[in-house]
Amino acid sequence: MMLIILLGIPLMAAVLIALARHRVRMEIAHTVAALGTLGMGIVVASLVWRFDGSPSSPSGALVALGGLLRVDALSALMVIIIALLDAITALYALGYMRADADGADPRRLRQFFALFHLFIFTMLLAVTTDNVGVLWIAVEGTTLATVFLVNLHNTRTSLEAAYKYLIISSVGIAMAFIGTALVYYAGAPKAGEVAMSWTALRAAAPTLSPQIMRLAFAFILIGYGTKAGLAPMHTWLPDAHSEAPAPISALMSGVLLNVGLYALMRFKTVTDLAVGPAFAARWLVGIGVLSLAVAAVFLLTQRHYKRMLAYSSVEHVGMICLGLGFGAYGGALGALLHVINHALSKSMLFLLSGNILLKYHTNDMNEVSGLLRASPWTGGAFLAGTLALVGLPPFGPFLSEFIILRAGLESPSAWAAFVGMGLLVIVFAGMMGRVNRMLYGRPPESMARGDVLTWPLAPLAVNFLLLIGLGLTLPPALLRVLNQALKVLGV
């Protein structure tokens, strides 16, 4: 019942907002739904983590709708990430849409809030279903929910970005469908009609055809890797993130990419049991290094700060793939921890980019200067977020990247760890050089001092405090949660 309520809150909010005619009613429904989703997400996750193996949940999972919905420790981790960033982004969006010019149009405001919660629903469905077919449908649903949000401003560049996003994501999801069909073909003779279930596939994995599973994983990696923003399938990401409203960019980069990675993790677990861990590891290490290299090159020459953040996402999903590819306990632990750290830091920076855009009315980094003087709160937070993103202590990404690279040095793919460290240095130089030009210098003379939005920045204190906390220590409670998720992944 709780899983149905968890999914029902954002879905019902999308319907109510679509029917609303007054701004205040839209904002109330939007806020209540976001906070309600967070509350229910905490309840669901705490039950899974606390009662792992209890009589009420002997499999360590909550199940609903005859097994169609199932939340285990890994799913619960994703639910918490989605619900937390949903609440933070939703609160910021209230102020952002009031300051944004298009927010004055009731039709576009209704479209924004309704599709916002439909987007949350599709992501929650993707990580809470036990059915690989429903997962595919939900991931496709994320595309349909966000493509109109990318084009919310209805400009030539936003229309082009939305069209590119739709085409590339659709091709990717078609590849994922072929991979899913191959997995079903490999599993149906052993697991029967329930071969579309994660639990059934994992149980039957050692008996699946290795040849079919190798081919299936290749399609899955390309398909869901497109959604995760892995190179060379990443080309939709910089355009879509740069044109979408800041709250949507925050969710797309901080959460949506993780949904694609979640699907890859699930299929990797089955593939490892069917053909051995070395096969998927080689693919993941290779595509991880490629993603880091592509991001490093483009970050050195980037002129638009939202596109800079988008290419940074390519780098970070590459790091997560490296962790999964390095394998063993350290690699997988670092990958899951980096999923959390990247979600917190990237959503924070994309929300702050909304403040910068409202203040300077441009995405061009060459036209943004003196940010620390013109907008002290925004500039200070943007500096802190950038330091976290490039992996400096005492922020969380430093710890998770350190764990990943250490696991790499102890793995057969030690060369990738050395290459990764070199590419991270290039990323650091590229991002900090560009951001310093934005932060320092003299702001435009006609620009008034002060932040355009102040109170909407308050929720970002959660991101900042968590990033500091995860950089200084790895709390025993979080380590226990991560270990439960690692058991789901077979680590």
* pLDDT value for 56: 42
Which residues fall within 8 angstroms of residue 436, CB to CB, at 6 or more apart? none
Please list the residues that pair with 107 across neighbouring strands. none
Q: What is the mean pLDDT of residues 352-356?
A: 94
Give the pLDDT confidence score for residue 186 in this predicted structure.
81
Q: What is the pTM of this model?
A: 0.95
pLDDT one-digit tens code per residue, 405-443: 999 999 999 999 999 999 999 999 999 998 998 999 888
- Give the structural domain span for 367: 288-491
Residue 466: inside a domain: yes
Mean pLDDT of 49-62: 60
> Total structural domains in the chain?
1
Round the average pLDDT of the chain to a whole number and report it. 92
119 inside domain: no
Q: Could you tell me which of 110, 96, 91 has the C-alpha nearest to residue 17?
A: 110
Residue with tokens 């360590």: 60
For position 456, what pLDDT does the model report?
Answer: 86
Indicate if the pLDDT at residue 253 is higher than 50: yes
- CB neighbour class for 22 (10 Å; exposed up to 12, middle 13-18, buried from 19): exposed
CA distances from 46 to 4, 39, 40, 73, 147 (A): 16, 11, 10, 10, 33
Q: What is the DSSP letter of 64?
A: E
Q: Compute the chain's Rg from CA coordinates.
A: 21
**Does 30 or 241 have the greater pLDDT score?**
30
Q: Residue 53: pLDDT above 50? A: no
Q: What is the pLDDT of residues 80-107, one digit of tens each?
A: 999 999 999 999 999 999 988 766 688 8
| Residue 59 DSSP code | T
Contact 240, 165 (CB under 8 A): yes
- Cα four-point dihedral sign 110, 113, 118, 121: negative
Q: What contacts 158, CB < 8 A, 6 or more positions away?
A: 150, 151, 152, 243, 244
Check pLDDT > 80 for residue 192.
no
Of 386, 387, 448, 138, which is closest to residue 263 (Cα–Cα)? 138
Query: Which residue has better confidence, 281 or 491?
Result: 281
Phi, psi at 62, each rounded to 5°: -95, 135
In a domain, 212, yes or no: no
Residue 57 has pLDDT above 60, yes or no: no
Strand, helix or coil for residue 154 = coil
Out of 51-55, 239-243, 445-449, least confident range: 51-55
Instruction: For residue 98, tell me if it sits in a domain.
Output: no
Average pLDDT (133-143) is 95
pLDDT band at 61 (very low <50, low <70, confident <90, very high): confident
Work out the pLDDT band at 154, boundaries 50, 70, 90: confident
Closest C-alpha to 41, from 90, 83, 91? 83
**Residue 52 scores a pLDDT above 60:** no
Which residues, in sequence order, are bridge partners of residue 69?
64, 129
At 287 the three-state DSSP class reads helix
Closest CA to 47 of 30, 35, 24, 64: 64
Is 233 part of any domain?
no
Q: Distance between CA atoms of 117 and 30, rounded to whole angstroms? A: 8
Instruction: Tell me if 368 is assigned to some domain.
Output: yes
Supply φ then ψ for residue 459, to 5 degrees. Answer: -60, -25
Give the chain's count of helices (H) and strands (E). Answer: 20, 2
Whether 58 shows a pLDDT value over 50: the answer reads: no
Structural domain contains residue 272: no
Compute the distance between CA of residue 166 and CA of residue 390 in angstroms, rounded to an integer: 30
- CA pair distance 285, 401, nearest whole angstrom: 15
Domain presence at residue 42: no
